[in-house]
């Protein structure tokens, strides 16, 4: 029981680390919360500090989610605990302890936690993301569509219920954090990529 609690706390603390903010402070001298979109994720890092920094942020934010889930799996945790660790890691990114609970949108960390738990639905989500971004040039629209498709594919592919529920909760978090993007998309003011 104490180990289970420790894994959940570890997942939250790992999730709370912001690779974008750390990278911006160390190398860019930029405060992401007052630059570009004000978001701390890879897309805004890419826009404000360049594509290489954006890629490092994407990988770093994904890695912390992956490490949290791998730690739970290595301990031999139940599927329910592993699913909970996945959700808590994304929660940590979205509501980070270290940054006054004002975090990113959870997409990269979701990639990290879904890779070892729902690889096939994740692959489907990535394909949907890629097609939508190439077609409409909106990263936010692709992220929202991918978030929705992952739990649907998890159901269709008959994954375990705890993993389906975890993916649905992660999708809800991603959609919640993209609410302002959705409003801008509807108003036609959302910035495009490759424009």
Tokens found for residue 173:
């978090």
The tens digit of pLDDT for each residue in 76-117 reads 879 999 999 999 999 999 999 988 898 999 999 999 999 999
> What is the pTM (predicted TM-score) of this model?
0.94
Q: What is the pLDDT of residue 40?
A: 83
Q: What is the pLDDT of residue 107?
A: 97
Instruction: Say if 193 falls within a structural domain.
Output: no
Using alpha carbons, list the distances in angstroms from residue 107 to 26, 78, 129. Answer: 23, 25, 11
Token pair 């975090």: residue: 103
Question: Domain limits at 37?
Answer: 2-187
Instruction: Say if 90 falls within a structural domain.
Output: yes
- The single-letter DSSP state of residue 157 is T
Cβ–Cβ < 8 Å for 86, 171: no
Domain count, the chain: 1
The tens digit of pLDDT for each residue in 148-185 reads 999 999 999 999 999 999 999 999 999 999 999 999 99
Instruction: Say if 54 falls within a structural domain.
Output: yes
Instruction: Say if 121 falls within a structural domain.
Output: yes
Instruction: Say if 194 falls within a structural domain.
Output: no
Torsion, CA 172, CA 42, CA 93, CA 13, rounded to 10:
150
Distance CA 88, CA 68 (A): 9
């Amino acid at each position: 029981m104490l180990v289970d609690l420790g894994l959940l706390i570890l997942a939250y603390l790992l999730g709370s680390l912001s690779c974008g903010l750390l990278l911006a402070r160390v190398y860019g001298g930029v405060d992401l919360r007052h630059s570009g979109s004000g978001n701390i994720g890879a897309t805004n890092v890419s826009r404000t500090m360049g594509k290489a920094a954006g890629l490092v942020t994407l990988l770093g934010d994904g890695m912390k989610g992956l490490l949290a889930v791998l730690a739970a799996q290595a301990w031999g945790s139940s599927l329910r605990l592993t699913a909970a660790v996945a959700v808590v890691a994304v929660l940590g990114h979205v509501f980070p302890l270290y940054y006054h609970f004002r975090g990113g949108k959870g997409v990269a960390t979701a990639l990290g936690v879904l890779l070892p738990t729902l690889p096939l639905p994740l692959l489907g989500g990535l394909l949907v993301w890629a097609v939508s971004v190439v077609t409409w040039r909106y990263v936010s629209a692709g992220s929202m569509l991918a978030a929705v498709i992952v739990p649907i594919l998890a159901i269709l592919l008959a994954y375990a219920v705890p993993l389906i529920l975890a993916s649905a909760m992660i999708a809800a978090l991603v959609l919640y954090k993209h609410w302002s993007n959705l409003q801008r998309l509807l108003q036609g003011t959302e910035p495009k990529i490759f424009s």
